[in-house]
Amino acid sequence: MTSDQQQDTRIWYGELTTRSALRRRGLLQVSPGLFWILIFLTVPALALIALSFATRGGYGEIEWIFTFENFTRLAGYGMFGWSPDYLIILARSLWVAFVTTTICTALAFPLSFFIASKPKTTRYVWLTLVIIPFWTNLVIRTYAWQLVLSPDLPIAKFAAALGLIPEGSPLYPSEFAVYLGMISAFLPFVVLPLYSSVEKLDWSLVEAAFDLYSNRRRVFMQAILPQTLPGLSVGAILTFVPAMGMFLIPDFLGGAKYMLVGNLIQQQFGKSRDWPFGAAVSLALMVLTLVGLFVFRRKGEKMEVI
């Protein structure tokens, strides 16, 4: 045996083998899945970046002429001077996603504690009640809100009686309807991970905090919140990312006046056939999402240190 081979030999899970043999075996197992994601997601996502500097040809084809035009257009500079339309859409998307995440989190806490307080035998029934809407198709759930907000039903009638909307008209499309749809769509995304944190909660810390005369706010901030932070941040991310790119809910419940960035991208890849501009908007959405994720993470860390 040469010294070269000796170096290559190693024990892996009780088996005498060579490093290169291991690597071959590992690559064989990893490569189908990895290539799949690479070819259909990672590389195209990078192509999206390149595309955002290209130009749309007269028939919707792509011309590889390097330009910043897509970004100046997104910033509002067009043929007829400056208009903030696209910037408003971006800011609105960020705001809607942020508010949705915050409200979902606020509602998820009581629900998680409620489920965790149930005896083990009935707990899974309550959990199932959260999972069912979570697994129900979003198209169905969003359409269901259209139905609930339609003019003949109590909610719209009540709003009409208060003079908020004209008699006999539905409560959608409206900002209010978009929020209803968003919150109900994403609530389970926060409840399920948060619940798994709450279930593991060490209550002796909570008792100790009360024993040391902490008020309820401090007990929550210092004994409960830090322990539930892992579940909470997973829930916040699972809500914030899809909420940023949401296109179905504003489409059904927001109408043309309450467009979000998802609708804008869909338009560019669909009807308008302006892929370079669509790519630029996608890039902006991606950047905003990453910034948002960063903020949530930072906020999480800070809370832990309080």
Q: Cα(18)–Cα(80) distance, rounded to whole angstroms?
A: 68
Identify whether 84 is preceded by a cis peptide bond (ω within 30 of 0): no
Q: C-beta of 76: minimal distance to another protein in Å?
A: 21
Phi (first) and psi of residue 302, to 5 degrees: -60, -45
C-beta of 48 vs 201, nearer to another protein: 48
Name the residue among 256, 244, 247, 249 with its Cα closest to residue 93: 244
Of 154, 172, 173, 156, nearest to 164 (Cα)? 156
**Strand pairing partners for 55?**
63
Q: Which is nearer to another protein, 188 or 231 (CB)?
A: 188
Between 127 and 305, name the residue whose CB sits nearer to another protein.
127
CB 219 within 8 A of CB 228: no
Q: Which is nearer to another protein, 83 or 153 (CB)?
A: 153
The candidate with the shortest Cα–Cα distance to 206, out of 186, 184, 188, 221, is 221
Minimum CB separation from another protein for residue 292, in Å?
A: 10
- Kindly provide the b/e burial profile for residues 53-81, where b requires at least 16 CB atoms within 10 angstroms of the residue's own CB: bbbbeeeeeeeeeeeebbbebbeeeeeee
**Shortest CB 249 distance to another protein, Å:** 11
How buried is 201 (Cβ within 10 angstroms: 0-12 exposed, 13-18 middle, 19+ buried)? middle
Alpha-carbon distances of 121 from 108, 131, 202, rounded to whole Å: 21, 17, 21
Least distance between another protein and beta carbon 42 (Å): 6
Closest approach of another protein to the CB of residue 126, in Å: 8
SS3 content of the chain, % helix, strand, coil (to 5): 75, 5, 20
Considering the complex, state which of residue 79 and residue 257 has its C-beta at the smaller distance from another protein.
257
Of the pair 79, 120, the CB lying nearest another protein is at 120
For the bound state, the minimum distance from the C-beta of residue 302 to another protein, rounded and expressed in Å, comes to: 21
Q: Which is nearer to another protein, 36 or 77 (CB)?
A: 36
Q: How far is the CB of 221 from another protein (least distance, A)?
A: 15
